[in-house]
Amino acid sequence: MNHYQIVIIGGGTAGITVAAQLKRKDKSLSMAIVEPSEKHYYQPAWTLVGAGTYNFKDTERNEADYIPEGVDWIKDYATDINPMNNSIETKTSGKITYDYLVVAPGLVMEPSLLPGLPEAMEKGVVCSNYTDPEYTWEMLQKFKGGNAVFTQPTTPIKCGGAPQKIMYLAEEYFRKSGVRNDTNVIFATPGTVIFGVPDFAKTLNKIIHDRDIIFKPFYAPVRIDPDKKEIYFKYSKPGENGCVITEGNKIGEEIIGDSEIKISFDFLHLAPPQAAPKFIRDSIVSIQEGANKGWIDVDIHTLQHKRFPNIFSLGDVAALPTAKTGAAIRKQAPVLVENLLKIIHSNHIGSASYNGYSSCPLVTGYSKMVLAEFKYDNIRDSDPLISKFVDTTKEQYSMWLLKKYGLPFMYWNLMLKGKA
Instruction: Show which residues are catalytic.
Output: 159, 360
Distance CA 6, CA 90 (A): 16
Q: Is the dihedral of CA 373, 376, 377, 379 positive or negative?
A: negative
The bridge status of strand 78-82 relative to strand 87-90 is antiparallel
Q: CA 227, CA 125: separation in Å to the nearest integer?
A: 9
Q: Cα dihedral angle (366, 139, 52, 382), rounded to 10 degrees?
A: 50
Q: Left, alpha or beta for 287 (phi > 0: left; psi -120 to 50: alpha)?
A: beta
Residue closest to 304 by CA, chosen among 10, 25, 103, 12: 103
What are the Cα distances from residue 169, in Å, to 109, 199, 203, 241, 362?
A: 23, 21, 16, 34, 11
Radius of gyration of the chain (CA): 22
- What letter would DSSP give residue 158? B
Strand residues in 189-259 grouped as ranges (E): 214-216, 219-225, 230-235, 254-256
CB 96 within 8 A of CB 86: no
Reference 62, options 406, 420, 412; nearest CA is: 412
The Cβ of residue 297 has, within 10 Å, a number of other Cβ atoms equal to 18
| Overall residue count recorded for the chain in this entry | 420
